[in-house]
Amino acid sequence: MAVGIFDSGLGGLTVLDAVARRLPEVPLVYFGDNAHAPYGVRTADDIYALTTAGVERLFAAGCDLVILACNTASAAALRRMQESWVPRDKRVLGVFVPLIEALTERQWGDNSPPREVAIKHVALFATPATVASRAFQRELAFRAIGVDVEAQACGGVVDAIEDGDLILAEALVRSHVDALRRKMPAPDAAVLGCTHYPLMEEVFQDALGQDVKVFSQADLVAESLADYLSRRPQMIGPGTVSQFLTTGNPAQVSNRATQFLRRKIAFEAA
Strand 28-32, strand 268-269: pairing: unpaired
DSSP 8-state class, residue 35: G
Q: How many CB atoms are located within 10 Å of the residue 72 CB?
A: 33
Q: Taking the CA of residue 226 as centre, how many other CA atoms within 13 Å lie in the half-sphere pointing to its CB?
A: 16
Verify whether residue 63 is a known catalytic residue.
no
What's the rounded Cα separation, in Å, for the pair 207 and 239? 43
Catalytic residue among 10, 69, 70, 123: 70
What's the rounded Cα separation, in Å, for the pair 72 and 264? 27
Q: How is the beta sheet containing 189-192 ordered, strand by strand?
A: 148-153, 121-126, 189-192, 213-215
Strand 63-68, strand 115-116: pairing: unpaired
Catalytic residue among 194, 207, 214, 253: 194
Verify whether residue 154 is a known catalytic residue.
no
CA dihedral 236, 34, 169, 211 (to 10 degrees): -20
Active-site residues, by number, are 70, 194
